[in-house]
Amino acid sequence: MKILGIEFAPLNIPLSRRLQTLAVGLGHAFMTTGPTLSWLLVLYVIFFTNIWFLPFAYLIWIWVFDKKIYERGGRRVECIRRCIFWKFFKEYFPINIKKDSEEVELDPKRNYLFCSFPHGLLATGVFTVFASRGGGFQKLFPKHTPHILTLKQNFSMPLFRDFLLSLGMSAASAKSINFLMSRPRGGNAALLVVGGAAESFYCKPGQYHLVLKNRKGFARLALKNGSPLVPTFSFGETDIYDQVSNPEGSLLRMFQEWVKKVTGIVPIIPLGRGYFQYSFGLVPHRKPINIIVGKPIDVERVVDPTQEQIDSLHATFVKQLTELFEKHKHKYLENPDGTTLVID
């Protein structure tokens, strides 16, 4: 039903769908505003209550004694990863993870570096799959422990960092990846969204524009650790949000690039829907996200890889990722013939 050009949701929508919308809306709001809200809460307790010493001691602990945990595998809390909240969150879109073929298997004695594309605005698909028990990853690969990697800066935020750690998240840094990939018994699966914040600039419905051509650090780390690379593609990740137009050279784009340079975070202005209407808002659209896991690329350990070896592995990865996209786009995209993969 439309009122003044706004399309409202029907009144008879089932409660389960309402709960899904609530979970996704709250989840995305917390992921974008959580660092600020956490700081406000800590500062309020310090300056306006009688228990100021508790948050003060907490800040000393996280910045002095606990500051390296995010580069040493993190500190997951399984009860939070199992929370029913993630079930509603996953079913809203819905989000599914599948193998490219039956040949996609992981050796339980090895560690794997999953490299996911595209980033989208918030990497919603792979975040859900890797950060929650109900996401589906551990049904496909029960002998591996998933670790999703995110910006190192996020772990300097009080309270918010502990939420990320509870989901099994670690820093997207060389030290962190080396630690996870060097586990002697194997069994680690780290997920790196290679395009990062820079890829957010290109997040538009129906478009798949990747930042990959000059990003070769993941290939170097894979070689140093002898860790197989696993190409992973999230079809539909760019469809759940649009964003305010920001062409290169515009004032908005220049401001966004400046903030990214200073903080590592891109202040994208998302265009979604609301809780009770579909025309505007910050809740993502209800679009399916299908995550396809490609066949691992075997990598032999090279303590000091040459640039030629890095370039060769990177080229192999790009080739396999492109083939993965072309193989599955007709199944998961609305306009597969008109959609091409752009790699910059």
β-strand 188-193 against 145-150: which pairing, if any? parallel
**Does residue 2 register a pLDDT over 80?**
no
**Does residue 197 register a pLDDT over 90?**
no
The reported pLDDT for the residue numbered 179 is 97
- Residue 247: asked if its preceding bond is cis (omega within 30°), the reply is no
Domain limits, the chain? 2-343
pTM of the predicted model as reported, rounded to 2 decimal places: 0.93
The reported pLDDT for the residue numbered 246 is 82
The reported pLDDT for the residue numbered 328 is 97
**Does residue 142 register a pLDDT over 90?**
yes
**Does residue 343 register a pLDDT over 90?**
yes
How far is 148 from 168, CA to CA, in rounded Å?
7
Is residue 115 within 8 A of residue 291, CB to CB? The reply is no
Query: Please, which pLDDT band fits residue 3 given cuts at 50, 70 and 90?
Result: confident
CA angle 229, 231, 236 (to 5 degrees): 155
**Does residue 266 register a pLDDT over 80?**
no
β-strand 270-271 against 242-243: which pairing, if any? antiparallel
Query: Please, which pLDDT band fits residue 111 given cuts at 50, 70 and 90?
Result: very high
Exposed (0-12), middle (13-18) or buried (19+): which is 20, by Cβ within 10 Å?
A: buried
- Of the candidates 328, 282, 330, the one whose C-alpha atom is nearest the C-alpha of residue 117 is 328
Query: Please, which pLDDT band fits residue 67 given cuts at 50, 70 and 90?
Result: confident
Query: Please, which pLDDT band fits residue 5 given cuts at 50, 70 and 90?
Result: confident
CA distances from 262 to 151, 170, 249, 258, 270 (A): 13, 21, 18, 6, 21
**Does residue 249 register a pLDDT over 90?**
no
Query: Please, which pLDDT band fits residue 181 given cuts at 50, 70 and 90?
Result: very high
How far is 257 from 10, CA to CA, in rounded Å?
40
Query: What's the one-letter identity of residue 320?
Result: Q
The reported pLDDT for the residue numbered 278 is 85
Query: Per-residue pLDDT tens for 251-263?
Result: 888 888 888 888 7
Report which DSSP code applies to 280: S
CA distances from 205 to 13, 105, 144 (A): 26, 32, 33
How far is 290 from 234, CA to CA, in rounded Å?
6
Task: Quickly tell me which residue has 């899904």 as its tokens.
Answer: 20
- Give residue 173's Cα distance to chain centre: 15
Backbone angles phi, psi at 323, to 5 degrees: -65, -35
User: How much is the mean pLDDT over the chain?
Assistant: 93
**Does residue 73 register a pLDDT over 90?**
yes
CA distances from 138 to 28, 42, 118, 229 (A): 23, 35, 22, 18
Rounded to 10°, the helix 217-225/174-181 angle is 30
- Of the candidates 28, 31, 152, 162, the one whose C-alpha atom is nearest the C-alpha of residue 88 is 28
How far is 288 from 95, CA to CA, in rounded Å?
6
The reported pLDDT for the residue numbered 294 is 97
DSSP bridge partners of 3: 6
Please compute the mean of the pLDDT values over residues 266-279 and round it to a whole number.
87
More confident residue, 246 or 216: 216
The reported pLDDT for the residue numbered 269 is 83
The reported pLDDT for the residue numbered 264 is 74
Query: Per-residue pLDDT tens for 281-293?
Result: 999 999 999 999 9
What percent of the chain shows pLDDT beyond 90?
80
How far is 85 from 20, CA to CA, in rounded Å?
9
CA angle 200, 202, 205 (to 5 degrees): 100
Query: Per-residue pLDDT tens for 313-325?
Result: 999 999 999 999 9
